[in-house]
């Protein structure tokens, strides 16, 4: 079931692209794009300054003169890796949290299209604030858990043989929590936070498949920052609505 869900989640990106034009969803992406560019620029500027500082700190543990240049180079490389990994994690959750009120309309329109049912939603400042607070709550939770798991995995990545396992697990964890955030744009209309956690836990393949493509798209300069979140949210909606509908049919 996991691999079937993972494959379907990856395939949903193709469907999502078609729905953007069909449902006129392009107009909803401008503010999330702006949010992504601003946060991305801020994190890049911070990373540029921090990587050298972290590299110097790591190198300071080598007290001898011989080999100091090699150690210094390794320290700065490790500093860059640490900043890159944690910068990506923070960027991902910050953008998903702050873009929640603007991803919700994309998710809503796709759900209406897929189910043929109107949603009982009101476009008011109070509703936008509720969605924003929900997005911040979910993503702060996921950020803390992801960091808690990522730190020991990063340490493992410097140990031969174990680094193969830790790299695979890092990709899995990054993908899972990215997919979780994208699925919650739909789940916020159907589940409370606790219910959302349980739902995603039961459908890990969907989260990992969606989050894997999301993370890969972020690696594409500029385009990734602009389009990764809207397309990932749309693709996640297709899969999440499918799972919710199948559960409803079982209950009937």
- Report the alpha-carbon distance of residue 251 to residue 213 in Å, rounded: 32
The pTM assigned to this predicted structure is: 0.88
Residue by residue, DSSP assigns 30-54 as HHHHHHHHHHHHHHHHHHHHHHHHH
* Distances, alpha carbon 35 to alpha carbons 31, 49, 72, 102, 181, in Å: 6, 22, 36, 11, 16
> What tens-digit pLDDT sequence spans the chain (252 residues)?
899 999 999 999 999 999 998 999 998 889 999 998 898 888 877 777 776 777 676 677 666 766 677 767 777 677 777 777 788 889 999 999 999 999 999 999 999 999 998 777 666 778 889 999 999 999 999 999 999 999 899 888 778 888 889 989 999 999 999 999 999 999 999 999 999 999 999 999 999 999 999 999 988 888 888 889 999 999 999 999 999 998 654 343
Confidence at residue 11, expressed as pLDDT on a 0 to 100 scale: 95
Q: Three-class SS string for 11-35? A: HHHHHHHHHHHHCCCHHHCHHHHHH
**What single-letter DSSP state applies at residue 160?**
T
Confidence at residue 169, expressed as pLDDT on a 0 to 100 scale: 94
Confidence at residue 122, expressed as pLDDT on a 0 to 100 scale: 61
Give the residue from 60, 61, 59 showing the smallest Cα distance to 75. 59
* Distances, alpha carbon 151 to alpha carbons 18, 105, 156, in Å: 39, 35, 9
């Amino acid at each position: 079931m996991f691999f079937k869900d993972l494959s379907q989640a990856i395939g949903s990106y193709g469907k999502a692209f078609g729905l953007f034009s069909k449902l006129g969803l392009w107009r909803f992406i401008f503010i999330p794009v702006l949010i992504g560019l601003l946060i991305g620029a801020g994190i890049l500027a911070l990373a540029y300054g921090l990587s050298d500082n972290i590299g110097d700190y790591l190198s300071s543990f080598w007290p001898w003169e011989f080999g100091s240049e090699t150690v210094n180079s390794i320290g700065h490389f490790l500093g860059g890796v640490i900043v890159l990994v944690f910068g990506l994690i923070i960027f991902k959750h910050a953008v998903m949290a702050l873009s929640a009120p603007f991803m919700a309309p994309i998710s809503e329109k796709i759900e209406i299209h897929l189910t043929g049912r109107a949603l009982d939603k009101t476009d008011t400042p109070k509703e936008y604030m509720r969605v924003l607070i929900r997005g911040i709550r979910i993503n702060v939770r996921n950020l803390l858990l992801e960091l808690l798991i990522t730190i020991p995995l990063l340490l493992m990545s410097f140990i031969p043989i174990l680094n193969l396992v830790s790299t695979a697990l890092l990709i899995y964890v990054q993908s899972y929590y990215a997919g979780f955030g994208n699925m919650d744009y739909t789940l916020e209309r159907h589940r409370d936070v606790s219910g959302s956690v349980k739902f995603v836990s039961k459908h890990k393949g969907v989260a990992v498949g969606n989050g894997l493509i999301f993370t890969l798209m972020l690696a594409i300069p500029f385009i990734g920052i602009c389009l990764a979140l809207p397309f990932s949210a749309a693709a996640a909606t297709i899969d999440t609505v499918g799972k919710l509908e199948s559960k409803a049919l079982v209950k009937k």
